[in-house]
Chain A
Amino acid sequence: MAAEGASAGGPAPDERHAIGISFGNSNSSIAVTMADDKVEVIANEDGDRQIPSILSYVDGEEYNGQQARQQLIRNSKNTVACFRDFLGQDFKSIDPTHCHASAHPQAHNDTVAFTIKDKAGDEESTVTISEIATRQFRRLKQSASHFTGKDVNSAVITIPTNFSEKQNEALTKAAKDAGIETLQLIREPVAALLAYDARPETKVSDKNVVVADLGGTRSDVAVIASRGGMYTILATAHDYEFAGVHLDKVLQDHFAKEFIKWNSIDPRENARSLAKLKLESEATKKALSIGTNANFSVESLAEGIDFTSTINRLRYETIARKVLDGFNRLVEGVVKKAGLDVLDIDEVILSGGTSHTPKIASNFGSIFPETTKIFAPSTSATAINPSELQVRGAALQASLIQEYESEDIEQSTHPAVTTVKHLTNAIGVLAISDDSHKGIFTPIVSAETAVPARRSIHIPVPKEGGDVLIKIVEGGSHIKVTKPESAPTTNGKKESDDSEDSDEDSDEEPEEQREKVWKVGNVLAEAAVKGTKKGGQVEVMINVAVDLAVTVTAREVGEKGGVRGNLSAP
């Protein structure tokens, strides 16, 4: 079925019609960058932008997305769901938990396959995971081609940060078999960050960002150092215990118990009833992200008995607290893993379908200081739909690189280009008051900046002008903890507990003050700018070369010349 005739490397740059694809265990989505640089997330034929990654077969007919999802009730054995993470894996290393209610994965040579009736008649066939993924890609390609009116033949696809090379290859091959040339695989959290940074109102800056990708069956959190628009992942965490399905489960159990109370039948014991319960629980969860009240209603839930109930958001948040707290721990853990403190984090981006839950965003708001921006629909009016972030990032990247030759893309993404030195400490100027031991450090280049790098700042000269000393130093940040006068006997790490305590508790035990302070390290260089005017400013520019040689330029703003000096490579 793949488009033949194209060269081995895929279509030539001028024949490319590229899209962004986010391919998830639960949902997939596709997006394209329009002529005016706006990204359009494409709806499939059913009108869905979040297309369930499910394939189902009835009498030889293939169903995908929402239609296939409905088949989980009546036709679960011929419905394949939650398969993305099986690609490029052998049977032993996969976790089939989420496939209990659909076609079961099985070992097949060194890969995974499903036995389903995908043809008319009663004949069963063994379909490998690779072929399943190809069929899914074919459907996505078809929807995208319908929308754009062109044959979509290439894509940038998002992958989790812990995908192995083997999984990447399997994914690329599955896409190729569907007639999609993979221009590049980009990592999901980076795609989400790119979607935010590409907005016209975002200025390029140096910041530390946490991307919490809360999905259906897994949650992935990454801490990213964003420096001059370039991204370096400092730490990642993956969790399979706290995700959307676990929130669904909370609602499932809640409504099942209620049903039992009236009917003495447990709908969880019958596969079909359970499937109905699951689908409706998810729908109720989604409704609770938007409204404060939601209905739950299933026709003939078990033994022909209909069931209708309601739940409000507060009650849901109470019964789901255990799962919701799990997200908090996940985020706190990965910040620590990156060697950072919550005070070092400038932005938190909530990505993934589960991020629509308002309570998660407000919980994160209480973990981080007030200065940290939390990008989620419930905390920020300008937030992008968390379900669309990754695919938007992928579409943007696709539009950036689609004119490149495949060879160029390969060379640019080569480790020789991407693996570079990153500064351990910040570099900045020390503004010295009368006492030369006490100085105020102003960072110019942040720690974890990839080299080569160039940054400059303007610093005001003393009121009276005159000769100015520019002292370039290294600096490290650390967290200063000031305990309140009536210090409680708790040790320094109690802060996270305090925030969860009720108000009356925090009145008795005032929270300790934690602030980020700079510790001045080595003095690197000194420069003198002479004869500055009153109220003038000095521009200090630092250029760090690949070999860590440093060039410092200092000059008064508006004047020519200035001082320039080099530090050789260490």
Chain B
Amino acid sequence: PVLPEGWAGEKDFKAVAHLSPATQRTIEPVGPHFLAHARRARHKRTFSEDDRI
């Protein structure tokens, strides 16, 4: 992945497109990782905030 000549982006980053639409599905409320997810969702924390705790 060599940077082509003349490539430029603001702060070296160029946003091109958005994600395609996603599907609504239901996670199974089971297991330690779900419980961590539920905790984040209910306290509206992000991953990095959660890491610090």
Say whether A145 faces chain B, with CB atoms less than 8 Å apart: no
Q: Is A294 an interface residue (CB 8 A)?
A: no
Interface residues of A in 415-429 (CB under 8 A from B): 415, 417-425, 427, 429
- Residues of A448-478 at the interface with B, using a CB-CB cut-off of 8 Å, are 448, 450-452, 454, 459, 461-462, 466-471, 474
Whether A522 contacts B27 by the Cβ 8 Å rule is no
Proximity string of chain A (220-238) to chain B, C-beta cutoff 8 Å, 1 when within and 0 when not: 0000100011111110000
- Per-residue 0/1 for B11-34: is the Cβ within 8 Å of any A Cβ (1 yes, 0 no)? 111111111111111111111111
Q: Verify B33–A230 contact, CB threshold 8 A.
A: yes
Known: A230-B33, A524-B16, A543-B47. A421 touches B27 (CB 8 A): no
- Interface window among A185-193, A375-383, A503-511: A185-193
Q: How far is the CB of B30 from chain A (nearest CB, A)?
A: 5
Q: Smallest distance from the beta carbon of B20 to chain A beta carbons, Å?
A: 5
Q: How many residues of B contact A (CB 8 A)?
A: 39
Question: Smallest Cβ distance from A449 to chain B, in angstroms?
Answer: 10
CA–CA, A425 and B23, complex, Å:
10
The answer, yes or no, to whether B41 is at the interface (CB within 8 Å) is yes
- Whether A420 lies near B31 (C-beta < 8 A) is no
Looking at A41-49, A256-264, A525-533, the stretch in contact with chain B turns out to be A525-533
The minimal Cβ–Cβ distance linking A394 to chain B, given in whole angstroms, is 9
| A446 interfacial by beta-carbon distance below 8 Å | no
User: Of all chain A residues, which has the CB nearest B14?
Assistant: A526
Decide if B27 touches A563 in the complex (CB within 8 Å). Answer: no
Using known A-B contacts A420-B25, A530-B12, A563-B13, determine if residue A397 contacts B20 with beta carbons closer than 8 Å: no
Q: How distant is the Cα of A427 from the Cα of B18 in the complex, in angstroms?
A: 11
Assembled-state Cα–Cα distance A471/B15 (Å): 10
- For the complex, give the distance between the alpha carbons of A450 and B33 in Å: 12
Flag if A563 contacts B11 (CB, 8 Å): yes
B1 and A432 within 8 A (CB):
yes
Contacts of A204 in B (CB 8 A): 33
- Report how far A467 CA is from B27 CA in the complex, Å: 41
A204-B33, A462-B2 known; A423 vs B16 contact (CB < 8 Å): no
Distance (Å) between the CB of A545 and the closest chain B CB? Answer: 8
Cα distance A566–B7 when bound, in Å?
19
Interface code A544-570, partner B: CB below 8 Å = 1, 0 otherwise?
Answer: 100010101000000000011111111
Chain B proximity mask over A401-443: 1 for CB below 8 Å, otherwise 0: 1000000000111010111111111010111100010000000
- A527 in contact with B9 (CB, 8 Å): yes
Set of chain B residues within 8 Å of A564, measured between Cβ atoms: 11, 13
Is A197 at the interface (CB under 8 A from chain B)?
yes
Q: Could you list 11 A-B pairs, sorted by A, with CB under 8 Å?
A: A184-B29, A186-B29, A194-B30, A419-B24, A419-B26, A424-B20, A427-B19, A474-B20, A521-B20, A524-B18, A568-B15
- 6 new A-B contacts at CB < 8 Å, known A421-B24, A451-B22: A420-B25, A452-B47, A468-B1, A474-B20, A523-B17, A525-B15
